[in-house]
Chains A and B, each alone.
Chain A
């Protein structure tokens, strides 16, 4: 043993001669795999002039590996010592001095001190016997992360090891595994809306670390629970902080997940009250919205004033607008995945809210303690008075009535430590009638059953069966014209997903298939004297299936790569009728030359879509990274709507021979930076997106009850591009952010015939082209209970086609419209405030009540909801804008938790 004071050598190093490092670049000795590193070093010393200085026990754990054969000594040393605390210097061209790096332990100590000063508890965890310390030996740490109240397993929890500057994630069953060198580490467990957990881990042998995450209580508010750091998150991904959602100003007191999305970069909305949203220049039908993995088609309540999800029922929400993982498909612009909360496994707990428009109540608890739990959530309106509030000359609105409810139930059962069963039901209904005798009712249903199983520690799978349904009914009760118009889309589906988490590779693969059964329209006479004749459009069926595979891995030190491929296949199947149109003639009902009948189950048309997905992160430094994302996506169901925002009588149409799948290719590139202490984060991200087969309309073409819908629609090309800038302050008394987006969304519809072109085949702005968007939001904490929050939003008015001239023909005035989308409505801007008083800070209080006072539209901006056309002079239509909300709207909400 050569014990040499380290300091001495370092001083020597500065005075002695430093020769070229040639000696280390040479190859020495034959490698004998399995031989101890120590022995190898001895053999090298025996045969060369090289001398090694070390502590024996430092070197003991290392053994020689076959792949070292033929490598220069330097490479062998580097590889052996990689990720260990042991480093070396080479001096005088003969001495190799090994030493232990103490930097990381100093850094760790300061981090722990800082955490303690921030009132984050640091748990010390010792695994193994320190006396048996063998430096450099690799050990494996495994564990499970659970939720404290519900005892449910938590997937996607970020486990950050400071010493390695590396992030690990738990898999869907809450498990994680990492390989470390023996030693001391500072490990941070983080999950959005949950309290950060810090562990000072001292590990000497393989071991287990199980962690319980607690929902962030108010007491800890000074420590902001950060989301995954922006630099680590994949490109185009974001999460919504559910507890912050309730502190934002609201319209009439309804906390709204979808509305909170609309202030993120790259997400916009066309009008005042619209729950439909547009992501990076895509249509509102291009957003996949999943409730416990079941797509939900209609996402708004009450003409778009509110979204269809009760915030209290949602446990987790993730949103992707670019670099979309291969496990998602079927819509081309974005994914919003909502996971319903699970009931508490220990005791019964509830939350509720009483607002001006609606009330909601959620209660959950154990069916059998520690084994199974149930949670029920319900929200409903009181009355029609929201519409009656709107003082307007527009009789149809103020005489109308509106009603909605939504509810969900989720049951989870832990079969054993390796498997879990859960079932979830979501249902919503909306009803509104205008002054004329028409009643509109629409329904959503999403039922799912899921079984999760862990086969081995690294392999996890889940099987899900689900049923989704979207339906609406329009009824006319005037006896002379009475009718019921029914539309429905039913879509059962099967999903099998596998997760294979290794230390270096996270692989997911699976198979999804969905059967679609659409009833595109059924018109029934509803009275004896009605002039309506029963009509039914043939039902349509299709199967959409997909196989996917994706692999996430670190490539070298600096790159994190996720590559995936989704192979989707769409089969339009019978029974059905396919029409043939005269060649070289426009696609018009009058040019139908033939129709072919298909029997039930017969394949009418097949499309296959390879969808590559790539997300790459390049780490520039501890606080900054560059991210690149590419995805191609296919969409086989299309929303056909003749109104600019989502309306209840929206028709979803399956692809067929003429309505080809929409395809989008998106390339995005972003630069992300965090300030050192994580107080500030900022990013700039650009994207370029091309879309094929996006649909526009022929003027006035009939959409409802049209068996040949392809003759009413025009396929075109879409192009969208933009730059998104965002700066956020995450910690301190004042938190908030500012973002700005410049983006364009353009269309080109250039069919063969004049009647199949829009604007003569020239490029024109899409309905939701809004070049400038600015959002500002803040939260000022007076103390731990009282907050002043607010937001400001601005966006360019959306494009619109307006009447530009007119004439009177046989006594009837006719307007001549501009080229499509040649004008814009006035710009939209709005400021909202909220004052939030939260209940007791004490963690164990039984009952907690919160008050929220909101002012929506503080300075009373009259933002356009829709454009009216009112005849003027000789019958020419003059455009008028209707603003539903033209004054500040205050509201008071009380919510409670027990």
Chain B
């Protein structure tokens, strides 16, 4: 008996693209970023989203102070360095004026960040599915607590940094192939053989990865202000991720009820993927609305969050076996790994 999974043959007419808002103000020093772009449909999902330029974007607090954001690149708006900084207890809202009209988020009070007490991990075999292959992972957990008097609505996200190595000297050309090392590799093709003449300047880089799942607090089944062993993410264990070691920082963000609802629905959407009992569709509405036409749907959220964070290193010795050597990619590091830098991070 074969059970089968097939793409559904349903004609999908492309929906009218809607404005998406991705913005946040925190209690950490700025600049803060607000991104405006259009949502993508299934046909153009592999392309970069279309940015929305020339909007007037500002953040206004409950003291009626306004911080105007400047468009630093297409669709990306940033507050000024040394400008407004979020303060716990004040409320903030976002105002956007585009050619289509004026949009606002409801004012949200910045709530205390609580305390992220402990960040730890556990090895978990076959935890993550990548390209239908099951991969071992480290599951990341946090213990944290807030004040009993606060709403204690949190979202957790993580940032991972890992070192990788490539082998640009192994690049070949032609048929039959002959060595054609990249110049930055420090090697040359000297009479048909590789000869090292300098240090490699493009073999090592540090890749940054972000959480791609929504993790929010659920106080319904706990006492409401103490969170124990909350799974906030899974770090895949592969030769590339553990060439040396893996640095991960987890942030605990206090969020308003609206934003908590948003991420909660996103989490439900993610949980619905592949569920045996197919749940009803989860439509996620954002917290930014057209002031004049409330029926117009805008997507995304503007969050007002205080942050508590912790960072640790995950070491190959924590893996119960020896990770194989990294594959030999014959390209400069930055050409292969996106979101990477040659600059060694301060914590490394």
Contact = CB atoms under 8 A, between A and B. Distances in A.
Interface of A: 303, 389-397, 434, 480-481, 483, 523, 529, 531-533, 535, 590, 642-645, 647, 649, 697, 699-700, 702, 705, 754, 760, 800-818, 820, 823-826, 862, 864, 866-887, 889
A285 B234 CA distance: 40
A805 B39 contact: yes
B43 to A, nearest CB: 10
A531 B229 contact: yes
Given A535-B220, A590-B257, A805-B39, A817 B277 contact: no
Contacts of B228: 531
B73 interface: no
A806 B45 contact: yes
Interface stretch (B17-25, B106-114, B194-202): B17-25
15 contacts: A390-B3, A392-B3, A396-B274, A481-B229, A531-B228, A535-B220, A590-B257, A705-B220, A811-B211, A812-B211, A818-B15, A876-B40, A881-B6, A883-B4, A885-B3
A390 B18 CA distance: 41
Given A532-B221, A810-B157, A883 B283 contact: no
A788 B295 CA distance: 59
B117 to A, nearest CB: 13
Given A812-B214, A876-B45, A885 B1 contact: yes
Contacts of A810: 22, 24, 157, 210
Interface stretch (B96-104, B172-180, B261-269): B261-269
Contact of A702 (B211, B220, B227): B220
Contacts of B299: 807, 814, 816
A824 B10 contact: yes
Interface of A is mostly: mixed
Q: Which residue of A393, A532, A642, A864 has the most chain B CB atoms within 10 A of its CB atom?
A: A642
Interface in B250-302: 257, 264-266, 268-269, 272-285, 294-295, 299-301
Nearest to B38: A807
B46 interface: yes
B157 A699 contact: no
A879 B221 CA distance: 32
Contacts of B18: 805, 816
A816 B10 contact: no
A868 B18 CA distance: 24
B273 A870 contact: yes
A886 B229 contact: no
Interface string B213-232: 11000001111000111100
A821 to B, nearest CB: 9
B49 interface: yes
Contact of B273 (A390, A397, A818, A871): A871
A700 B6 contact: no
Contacts of B295: 754, 760
B2 interface: yes
Nearest to B218: A702
A135 to B, nearest CB: 71
Contact of A533 (B6, B45, B222): B222
A804 B15 contact: yes
B8 A643 contact: no
Contact of A807 (B7, B9, B272, B300): B300
A700 B273 CA distance: 13
Q: Which residue of A480, A649, A699, A812 has the most chain B CB atoms within 10 A of its CB atom?
A: A812
Nearest to A884: B3
A880 B9 CA distance: 8
Given A807-B39, A880-B7, A533 B221 contact: yes
B325 interface: no
Given A811-B211, A812-B211, A874-B49, A523 B8 contact: no
Interface of B is mostly: loop
Contacts of B213: 812
Given A531-B222, A812-B212, A872-B45, A396 B276 contact: yes
A699 B9 contact: no
B326 to A, nearest CB: 24
A475 to B, nearest CB: 15
Contacts of A875: 45, 212
B42 A878 contact: yes
Given A643-B279, A702-B220, A809-B301, A881 B45 contact: no
Contacts of A887: 1-2
Q: Which residue of A303, A820, A876 has the most chain B CB atoms within 10 A of its CB atom?
A: A876
A805 B273 contact: no
Which 4 residue pairs spanning A and B have beta carbons closest together? A801-B281, A873-B45, A811-B210, A643-B277
A754 B296 CA distance: 12
Given A816-B39, A867-B8, A873-B45, A882 B3 contact: yes
Contacts of A643: 277-280
Given A700-B264, A826-B8, A868-B5, A874 B211 contact: no
B3 A883 contact: yes
Contact of A700 (B46, B222, B282, B301): B282
B41 interface: yes
Given A699-B281, A811-B157, A869 B5 contact: no
B276 A397 contact: yes
A889 B1 contact: yes
Interface size class of B (residues with CB under 8 A): 35 or more
A699 B284 CA distance: 8
A507 B181 CA distance: 99
A809 B22 contact: yes
Given A590-B257, A815-B269, A818-B15, A862 B4 contact: yes
B322 interface: no
Given A823-B10, A869-B272, A809 B1 contact: no
A866 B276 contact: yes
Contacts of B37: 807
Q: Which residue of B15, B49, B213, B221 has the most chain A CB atoms within 10 A of its CB atom?
A: B221
B12 interface: yes
A645 B280 CA distance: 10
Nearest to B10: A823
A889 B2 CA distance: 10
A188 B18 CA distance: 72
Contact of A480 (B2, B40, B214, B229): B229
Contacts of A523: 221
A159 to B, nearest CB: 49
A883 B214 CA distance: 29
B211 to A, nearest CB: 6
Contacts of A802: 8, 10, 12, 281
B132 interface: yes
A882 B275 CA distance: 11
Nearest to A862: B4
Given A809-B20, A809-B22, A814-B266, A804 B9 contact: no
Nearest to A856: B1
Nearest to B8: A879
A639 B229 CA distance: 34
Nearest to A393: B132
A868 B45 contact: no
B124 to A, nearest CB: 11
Nearest to B228: A531
B2 A391 contact: yes
A647 B280 CA distance: 13
B272 to A, nearest CB: 7
Contacts of A645: 277
B16 to A, nearest CB: 9
Contacts of B277: 643, 645, 647, 649, 866
Nearest to B49: A807
Given A754-B294, A866-B276, A816 B220 contact: no
A139 B220 CA distance: 75
A840 to B, nearest CB: 34
Contacts of A760: 295
Q: Which residue of A643, A699, A705, A874 has the most chain B CB atoms within 10 A of its CB atom?
A: A699
Nearest to B209: A811
B220 to A, nearest CB: 7
